[in-house]
Amino acid sequence: MEWGNSEKGKIMMVGFGPGPKEHMTFRAYEALKEADVIVGYTTYIELVKDLIEGKEIYETGMREEVDRAEIAIERAEEGKKVAVVSSGDSGVYGLAGLVLEMLREKGWTREDGLAVEIIPGASAINACASLVGAPLMHDFASISLSDLLTPWEVILERIEAAAKADFVIGLYNPASGTRTRQIIETREVLLKHRAKETPVAIVKSGYRDGQTLVLTNLDEMLNHKIGMLTTILIGNSSTYVYDGLMITPRGYHTKYSLAGKESAAGVLPDTSHVESD
């Protein structure tokens, strides 16, 4: 969806998915080719560098999101087509919201402001789920454990609510070199509401160089390396492991007769570990 007047310039918020071109939407690919200017975090720029050769590029480090948004708006106001790139989806922990907030402060409107297009992409929770089976088949919640912009007390309340409601939970930004207690406290909250055998997938750098997959359980999850490049998927009370795949039943076996198939409700979780490089 595009809003505004492209004759005044244009900002395209491009979520390109996990990274490789084959997992990028066709519109995201088109937008990168269409753009005059590319703005992004250095790591994101590196992931699409083969698609943006010859473009005007602005890249910044981590925690410089406001600078990137300002540059994008300034160049668009000069009449340029600007692509603000991010991995995953730009509207999921990306810059789409910040850019819209900053445009609002400048009085931008959909009717007569510069053009804005938000281009969706597969978020980390989707990409990582596809690598370990079908853990998101029922209701789920995604929660970032980074307390840089959100108070930790608020994040804990959200974890408690999601755990109590039996959501499958995807954890973004679970730990860093200096932020290690959050994942420990998160596990403590989850164990109040879930069995220690609950399946857990720990995915690092999904679909990128250095990808690792670990299938474990809630009791043993902290025995594995967890960092900023990790996404964690925690099953609900029905999630189980079959042949190394994490599966959350949608409920078909209770509504339909699945001829020749054993009811998922009768399968106990397999808590054996599966690791791959």
**What is the reported pLDDT for 256?**
66
**What is the reported pLDDT for 259?**
54
- Segment 89-100 shows an average pLDDT of 95
- In this structure, which amino acid lies at residue 257? S
CATH of domain 125-276: 3.30.950.10
**What is the reported pLDDT for 189?**
98
**What is the reported pLDDT for 7?**
92
Percent of the chain with pLDDT over 90: 86
Q: What confidence tens digit (pLDDT) does each residue in 109-159 have?
A: 999 999 999 999 999 999 999 999 999 999 999 999 999 999 999 999 999
Q: What confidence tens digit (pLDDT) does each residue in 178-223 have?
A: 899 999 999 999 999 999 999 999 999 999 999 999 999 999 999 9
Q: Which pLDDT band, with edges at 50, 70 and 90, does 177 fall under? A: confident
Q: Please give the structure tokens belonging to residue 174.
A: 């679970």
Measure the CA–CA gap between 76 and 105, rounded to whole angstroms. 16
Torsion of CA 162, 167, 170, 173, to 10 degrees: 10
Which DSSP letter does residue 119 get? E
**What is the reported pLDDT for 187?**
98
Question: For residue 176, is pLDDT > 80?
Answer: yes
Measure the CA–CA gap between 150 and 171, rounded to whole angstroms. 15
**What is the reported pLDDT for 153?**
97
Q: CB 144: neighbour CB atoms within 10 A? A: 18
Question: For residue 261, is pLDDT > 70?
Answer: no
- In this structure, which amino acid lies at residue 41? Y
- Segment 17-43 shows an average pLDDT of 95
**What is the reported pLDDT for 35?**
97
- Segment 36-54 shows an average pLDDT of 95
**What is the reported pLDDT for 183?**
97
**What is the reported pLDDT for 219?**
97
Domains of the chain, by residue range, sit at 2-122, 125-276
Which DSSP letter does residue 256 get? S
**What is the reported pLDDT for 268?**
44
- Segment 257-266 shows an average pLDDT of 49
165's CB contacts (< 8 A; 6+ apart) are none
Q: Out of 3.40.50.300, 3.40.1010.10, 2.40.240.10, 3.30.930.10, select the CATH number for domain 2-122.
A: 3.40.1010.10
Question: For residue 273, is pLDDT > 90?
Answer: no
Question: For residue 277, is pLDDT > 90?
Answer: no
Instruction: Give Cα 232 distance to the centre of its chain.
Output: 11
Which DSSP letter does residue 77 get? H
**What is the reported pLDDT for 251?**
73
**What is the reported pLDDT for 63?**
81
Q: Which pLDDT band, with edges at 50, 70 and 90, does 265 fall under? A: very low
Which residues sit opposite 275 in a β-bridge?
214
**What is the reported pLDDT for 164?**
97
Q: Which pLDDT band, with edges at 50, 70 and 90, does 276 fall under? A: very low
